[in-house]
Copies of this chain bind each other. A is one copy, B any other.
Amino acid sequence: MTVPILVYQPRAAQRYCTYLRDQGCDTVYPATTREEAEAILQQHPIEVVFGIGFPLDLLERYSSIRWLQLMSAGVDHVLHQGRVPARVTLTRMVGVFSRQMAEYVFAYLLHIEKGIERLCAQQREQRWKPFRAGVLTGKVIGVAGLGSIGQEVVRKARAFDMKVHGLSRTGEHADTVDRHFSDREWVDFVRELDYLVLTLPLTDQTRHVVNESVLWAMKPEAVIVNVGRGALMDESALIAALQQARLGGAVLDVFEQEPLPAESPLWRLPNVYVTPHMSGPTTVENGSTYFLENLARYQAGQALLGVVEPGAAY
């Protein structure tokens, strides 16, 4: 017998519930809208909410709720809404997306180095024309954010014999990189990089942290990969840098506004790859697996995974 759980997800709440019931979790109630959520909260003493985009004011109003498990790694969209009541533990997903996101990063790094677009174009024309492709070996990658996602990027970069620089606020995991920089050293950090990968959380401190002066400090052939949040970068400054060829390229999975508006020049700039926020997808399977692990801990009175400390921004 599990505690009463509300699953809040605009599209897939029902599929999450089916999956969870199949795993023996029988007290789950799906809601795809605020209205459905309220109806359930009025009927059942919901103790746990598992979801994305759950209206924070409902946490205030329904005092049975003790724990909110997010379906994401980032918490900026939640804390943006307001405060989580002290009685509610907030948890995010940690480690669920790391491997997929690091695969995404290396897919594009290798795509660029090996000239796959050029090779595909030659194939369409049936042209046999060898050229000298690039190599990742020996290149310098800078990883901004050394949490679980950043750590996985570091690990794969090692397998490609890259030089690995890292930047983080806390200095945690500084020993895993060849050179470590603090968040007061952005300009120094980016200067030598061939690739800059952003895996930071979005907070008041990291908003627009990649600004004009950081972009201008980069090598003109360097490429930025953003799998964190769009607002980590000043998108206008990025567009200007790309238009002026002060930057080699950008691989962007996240944007200041999503979906990326049709009028954004990013869609059409050369050497820019736009992908629709899918490098680290939450799926019914990986989301539920993480939740069930945490639920077992919750019911056993153990410490939860991914707790966002009260007052913390990530």
Contact = CB atoms under 8 A, between A and B. Distances in A.
Contact of A120 (B104, B160, B273): B273
A47 B123 CA distance: 43
Contacts of A137: 99-100, 103
Contacts of A103: 110, 113-114, 135-137, 160
Contacts of A258: 128
Contacts of A260: 128
Contact of A114 (B104, B129, B159): B104
A278 B130 contact: yes
A interface bracket (residues with beta carbon within 8 Å of B): 35 or more
Interface of A: 99-100, 103-104, 106-108, 110-111, 113-114, 116-117, 119-120, 122-123, 126, 128-133, 135-137, 155-156, 158-161, 258-260, 262, 267, 273-278, 281, 283
21 contacts: A100-B133, A100-B137, A103-B136, A103-B137, A103-B160, A104-B114, A107-B114, A107-B116, A110-B110, A111-B116, A117-B120, A122-B276, A123-B275, A126-B262, A128-B260, A128-B276, A130-B276, A130-B277, A155-B159, A156-B159, A158-B159
A165 B169 CA distance: 41
Contacts of A106: 106, 110
